[in-house]
Amino acid sequence: MQTISTTDLARPTRHIFLSPHYDDIALSCGGTAALLARAGRTPEIALIFGDHPDPAQPITDFAVAMHRQWGMSAEQVVAGRRSEEQIAALTLGACDRFLPFRDAIYRGSRYTSDDHLFGDTHPDEVGLAGQIIAHIGLERTSPANIRIYAPLAIGGHVDHQHAERAGSLLAERGYTVWYYEDLPYALRPENVDRRRPLLDAALEPRAAVDIERVWTTKVDAIMAYPSQLPTIFEQYVGVRATRLGIEGAMGDYARSMGDGTLAERFWTTG
């Protein structure tokens, strides 16, 4: 696996991170985004599934339960999460673009349990990846000058699957796509093993980005999402949602990606 220098990392003029939800870039590749910002690039975070719930459609009991975990009401949730995102993006040196798509829990009765949320995407959403691409704003730049960062959809969340498919479609159209490992899901090795057979057979972990000098910045950005930290780290990872607990879990994984050096790993073809 190749270790990428900052010069090579920043070579394209545009860097677009496909983020299914508000915290995915900080968690999964916030160090890479911070390095790009320090190198004079402005990482663009395409926040895909962050639009407001449809006011004409009732909120499901499943969505209400999620709001309760986050400590927010339905009226507060998008404004609250966007406020967290703004702090995280400023911390990383990134800019956000909010795409007009709703989180899976707000898309009617398609996803009303964890089994649905981490199962197959709904059949009537087959064209959603193409719609995502249409809203990213790629027409302003030649494909040769853009690098796309897309999730591998480790963990199988349906919104991550749609984002991964958008990345794969862009790769088919000639764009350079680096796939990041979805955290916290990738902290469980069985999730990586389960996802791998469903990926393009040519995809392999090929690039490591040394994030030692921006590690504190990455953790600062993760800490900007207080509504999500108990769910992510206490319920899912099994560590305390404190800076110490989060740095411990995330640091162990990052060092395993860099053979002892804090790193973020990306998968590519060829």
**pLDDT value at position 244?**
97
Q: What digits encode the pLDDT tens for the residues 205-223?
A: 999 999 999 999 999 999 9
**pLDDT value at position 56?**
87
pLDDT band at residue 72 under the 50/70/90 scheme: confident
Q: What digits encode the pLDDT tens for the residues 74-129?
A: 778 889 999 999 999 999 999 999 999 999 999 999 999 999 999 999 999 999 99
CA distance 165 to 195: 14
Can you list the domains of the chain with their CATH numbers?
2-268 (3.40.50.10320)
Q: What is the mean pLDDT of residues 259-268?
A: 96
* More confident of the two residues 119 and 141: 119
Least confident piece of the model among 168-172, 199-203, 205-209: 199-203
Q: What is the mean pLDDT of residues 21-45?
A: 97
**pLDDT value at position 265?**
97
Average model confidence (pLDDT) across the chain: 94
CA distance 109 to 11: 44
Q: What is the mean pLDDT of residues 18-38?
A: 97
**pLDDT value at position 142?**
86
Q: What is the mean pLDDT of residues 60-69?
A: 90
Least confident piece of the model among 48-62, 170-184, 215-229: 48-62
Other Cβ atoms within 10 Å of 195 Cβ, number: 21
Q: Which of 196, 264, 228, 253 is nearest to 43 (CA)?
A: 264
Element at 100 (helix H, strand E): strand 95-102
Q: What is the mean pLDDT of residues 50-72?
A: 90
- CB contact at 8 A, 178 and 208: no
Query: At a CB cut-off of 8 Å and minimum separation 6, what does 213 contact?
Result: 35
CA distance 163 to 54: 21
